[in-house]
Amino acid sequence: MILTISDADNMFRALEGWVPPDACHEVIVDCRKARRFTNCFLNSAINCRVRILPTSESAVSYAGLFSGCTNLNSQPFLDSSKCINMAAMFKNCSRMHFSLHWLQTSNVRDMRQMLMGCTYFSGNGPGYWDFSSLSSEHAMSNFATGTKFRTMYYDKILENLHRQAMAKTLPTPMRNVDMGAAKYSPAVAAKRQQLVDYGWEISDGGEVFANISRTETEFSNAVDDRLRSGSFPGDIDLSAVCTTARNGIAITPRHTLHVRHYMPRPGQPIKFWNGAEANVSKCEANPESWDIAIATLDRDVAVKPALVMPHTYGDLLPNAIGPPSQYPPGTTMPMLWFNQRNKLHVSDFSYLSSTSPTAHMTRPMDQLRLQYFGGIAVGDSGSPACFVSGNRLVVSHAIANSNGAGVWLAGLLDWATAVVSRTGHALEYLRN
């Protein structure tokens, strides 16, 4: 059901407390002559798509537009190019998981309490907003009190504010700019201080403390020490890596890990880095539709299987609720991966998702690693991505798409254990 509201010339509190019908999936507000949308949906139970069509007025207020809409989790669509007031626009939208980078803020004079109480704020953050039209020293008061930007978003906000300050387009002073519990990385600490010196009273959760675990340090040293000594890959045991089309990696002497969308067929030969070979007897895709599959071979192969991260992997590695990595920029944890041409590359681990078992890689920022990075391309699906512990590979995931992402095997250990146990085999876990 689509509901359309039209012809009103003032939307002030027009839908305050409104409970939309269960069948409603979109609300269109077509009020071209309206200038005030202040508190339009105040405390409404709305959680469907909202489209506010462009107004013919020269200026419009969206102050409190969705304030108190605690169920709102759908991306709104509206023209904000003429908006002059966004105070409390999303205040207490506690389930807000949508993107805000698209909002145009170059004419906005007031952003007080705009994101206050957005406890679970996510989506693409306001890193590129233009703050040049803020009209008073209190125009950012309690901007994000009670919320928490992810560090990578907060860093972008601070970098953007700093850029505008250096260009002398940022109003100053600015009082009580509360960024809630958001933490910034060491990479932007100096820029944040320059903003404070510029006249912005910023409060936040402080600087991220890089608490790098023993496991992370071990993974880094295992690769970087070899790169620095010029002995890479040295004595790293690569025998578990499959060299046949679409790659894969052994996780027991009888089982190999693949992506679901290129899972090998029964009878297909599988060759390994050290020359060992076997045929696929069957291949099982993950029943929950994750892009991952495990092949069972017709015999054990003479390879050293990749180690597997334990169930406690979340305690050993960084995840998405914090910074993209606990490492300072340029020193993120290295990984090895193997493309469709059987070439060995080094990449960086970005973060674990806290909501689904996926892993991501990023282009190395470290010059030492860059010379061993060939770029992840469409068609590299199935290529294994691994950490290194000593001389052993520790499998993270099989690459599923061209940004290096794939399903994190450690997030599906119960399923993997059930598959390999049918032949009397077991996964070998990394000891932490």
DSSP string, 49-93: EEEEPPPSSS-EE-TTTTTT-TT--S--EE--TTEEE-TTTTTT-
pLDDT for position 360: 85
What type of residue sits at position 122? Answer: S
Q: Are strands 269-271 and 293-297 parallel, antiparallel or unpaired?
A: unpaired
Please give the Cα distance from 350 to 359 (Å, whole number): 8
pLDDT for position 121: 66
pLDDT for position 355: 66
pLDDT for position 88: 98
Contact residues for 16 (Cβ-Cβ < 8 A; gap 6+) = 39, 40, 41, 42, 43, 44
> Buried (b) or exposed (e) across 231-260, using 16+ Cβ within 10 A?
ebbeebbbbbbbbbebbbbbbbbbbbbbbb
Find the helix or strand (DSSP H, E) in which 256 lies. Answer: strand 255-258
pLDDT for position 122: 63
pLDDT for position 141: 98
pLDDT tens across 89-143, in order?
999 998 887 888 889 999 999 999 999 998 766 666 788 899 999 999 999 999 9
Digit-by-digit pLDDT tens for the chain (432 residues) are: 999 999 899 999 999 999 999 899 999 999 999 999 999 999 999 999 999 999 999 999 999 999 999 999 888 999 999 999 999 999 999 888 788 888 999 999 999 999 999 876 666 678 889 999 999 999 999 999 998 787 778 888 999 999 999 999 999 999 999 999 988 888 899 999 999 999 999 999 999 877 788 899 999 999 999 999 999 999 999 999 999 978 999 999 999 999 999 999 999 999 999 999 999 999 999 998 899 999 999 999 999 999 999 998 888 887 765 555 667 666 788 999 999 888 999 999 877 776 678 888 888 888 899 999 998 888 899 999 999 999 999 999 999 988 888 999 999 999 999 999 999 999 999 986
pLDDT for position 423: 97
Tokens 């060995």 found at: 344
Tokens of 46: 């709305």
pLDDT tens across 190-218, in order?
999 999 999 999 999 999 877 788 899 99
Q: Where are the alpha helices (DSSP H) in 202-356?
A: 214-229, 313-316
The pTM (predicted TM-score) of the whole model is 0.65
- Indicate left, alpha or beta for 8 from its phi (over 0: left) and psi (-120 to 50: alpha): beta
pLDDT for position 120: 66
Domains of the chain, each with CATH number or no CATH? 214-421 (2.40.10.120)
Q: Judge whether 377 and 255 are in contact, CB under 8 Å.
A: no
The DSSP symbol for 33 reads T
Contact residues for 225 (Cβ-Cβ < 8 A; gap 6+) = none
The DSSP symbol for 361 reads E
